[in-house]
Amino acid sequence: MAQLKPRTTDALSDAETKRLARALAESDDVTVFVNGTTVKLPTQARDAVVDVLQRFAQGDAVMVSSAEDLLNTSQAAEVAGVSLTYMRRLTDAGTIPVEYRGTHRRIRLRDVLAWLETREQKQPQG
């Protein structure tokens, strides 16, 4: 399963930083063009873009990454409706992918939901 790596971008030059800071001070309206077409961003996307621009305007380097819903083993077991021991066995067997943060297991919510879906498909229809 591919995971996007965080992208780090160096700070802007002083001139670019000042120009961007001036533009943001005048208005928080942001127009985005995608393939020559004006696109109105949903509020969450707009806020994220403005946040990145403000960080650049402050002279910061910026790192962009994706956030995923990572669960600990207890949370994953609760979502799946199984015991903690059974969830550990599923991750140990590789049935549900797991990441380790130090010695702590982290399980993606989408992986638990995918496992539940395959389990439901295997249930005999009665």
pLDDT of residue 4: 52
**What are the residue ranges in the chain where pLDDT is below 50?**
1-3
Q: Which two tokens stand for residue 47?
A: 């806020």
pLDDT of residue 107: 95
pLDDT of residue 1: 36
pLDDT of residue 105: 93
Find the largest Cα–Cα distance for the chain: 70
pLDDT of residue 101: 87
- Report pTM: 0.53
Question: Residue 2 in 3-state DSSP?
Answer: coil
Burial class (CB in 10 A: 0-12, 13-18, 19+), 107: buried
